[in-house]
Amino acid sequence: MPEKILDYLVIGAGPAGLQMGHFLHRAGRSYRILEATPAPGAFFRTFPRHRTLISINKKYTGWDDPELNLRMDWNSLLSDDPRLLFTHYSDRYFPDADDMVRYLEDFAATQEPNITYDARVAEVARPDVDGPFRVTDERGRTFTARRVIVATGVTQPNVPPIPGIETAEQYGAVSVDPADFTNKRVLIIGKANSAFETADNLIETAAVIHVAGPHSVKLAWKTHFVGHLRAYNNNFLDTYQLKLQNAVLDGDIRRIERRADGSYLVTVAFVRADEVTKDIPYDRVIVCTGFRFDSSIFAPECRPELAIKDRFPALTPAYESVNVPDLHFAGTITQSRDFKRGTSGFIHGFRYGVRALHRALEARYHGVEWPGRDLSGDPGALAAAVLERVNRSSALWQQFGVLADVIVPDGRGGARYLEEVPLDLQGPPVGDQGHFAVTLEYGPGHDQVDPFDISVGRITQSDAERAHEGHYLHPVVRRFRNGVVEAVHHVTENLENDWTSEQVHLNPLRDFFQHHSLPVSV
Q: What is the pLDDT along the chain (522 residues), one digit of tens a residue?
A: 356 999 999 999 999 999 999 999 999 999 999 999 999 999 999 999 999 999 999 999 999 999 999 999 999 999 999 999 999 999 999 999 999 999 999 999 999 899 999 999 999 999 998 899 999 999 999 999 999 999 999 999 999 999 999 999 999 999 999 999 999 999 999 999 999 999 999 999 999 999 999 999 999 999 999 999 999 999 999 999 999 999 999 999 999 999 999 999 999 999 876 668 999 999 999 999 999 999 999 999 999 999 999 999 999 999 999 999 999 999 999 999 999 999 999 999 999 999 999 999 999 999 999 999 999 999 999 999 999 999 999 999 999 999 999 999 988 889 999 999 999 998 888 888 889 999 999 988 888 888 787 666 566 677 888 888 888 999 999 999 888 999 999 999 998 999 999 999 999 999 999 999 877 654
pLDDT at 453: 73
Q: Cα–chain-centroid distance for residue 429? A: 24
Rounded CA separation 189/455 (Å):
36
Alpha-carbon distance of 395 to 440, in angstroms, equals 10
Residues 299 and 126 sit within 8 Å (Cβ to Cβ): yes
pLDDT of residue 459: 66
Instruction: Please give the pLDDT value at position 2.
Output: 52
Contacts (Cβ under 8 Å, ≥6 apart) of 91: 57, 59
Q: What is the CA radius of gyration of the chain?
A: 25
Sign for the CA dihedral angle at 331, 336, 337, 342 comes to positive
Residue 164 Rama label (left phi>0; alpha psi -120 to 50; beta): left
Amino acid at 149: I
pTM for this prediction: 0.95
In this structure, the number of other CB atoms found within 10 A of the CB of residue 4 comes to 10
Rounded to an integer, what distance in angstroms lies between the CA atom of residue 94 and that of residue 193?
A: 14
Whole-number pLDDT of residue 1: 39
Q: Where are the beta strands (DSSP E) in 299-391?
A: 306-307, 312-313, 327-329, 372-376
